[in-house]
């Protein structure tokens, strides 16, 4: 091997690693619903909060399957954000 090849190999930068893939993309509807579920879970003391959490979990499952979210469901989710803020 000649000197030029050795010099070139020693001056090359190492390749950068790609960041790990996330299970859920940040900012997606599923991510926002998961944040809502966690927020409800932090303050869970009454039965109504338990039913709200179950409703959000079923909505998350529907989004994962590929179902669309109706406007009524989005409005209810927004009201839950206001309730548990």
pLDDT single digits (tens) 3-54: 656 655 566 677 788 888 878 888 888 999 999 999 988 876 677 778 889 9
The reported pLDDT for the residue numbered 14 is: 72
Q: What is the DSSP string of 43-82?
A: T--SHHHHHHHHHHHHHHHHHHHT----HHHHHHHHHHHH
The reported pLDDT for the residue numbered 20 is: 81
Question: In the structure encoding, which two tokens stand for residue 84, read together?
Answer: 């548990």
The reported pLDDT for the residue numbered 17 is: 84
CB–CB of 40/56 below 8 Å?
A: yes
The reported pLDDT for the residue numbered 9 is: 59
The reported pLDDT for the residue numbered 75 is: 94
């Amino acid at each position: 091997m000649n000197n030029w090849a050795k010099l070139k190999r020693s001056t090359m930068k190492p390749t950068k690693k790609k960041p790990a893939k996330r299970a859920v993309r940040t900012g997606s509807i599923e991510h926002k619903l998961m944040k809502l579920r966690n927020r409800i879970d932090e303050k869970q003391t009454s039965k109504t909060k338990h039913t709200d959490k179950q409703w959000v979990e079923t909505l998350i499952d529907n989004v994962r399957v590929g179902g669309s979210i109706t406007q009524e469901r989005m409005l209810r989710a927004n009201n839950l954000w206001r309730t548990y803020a």
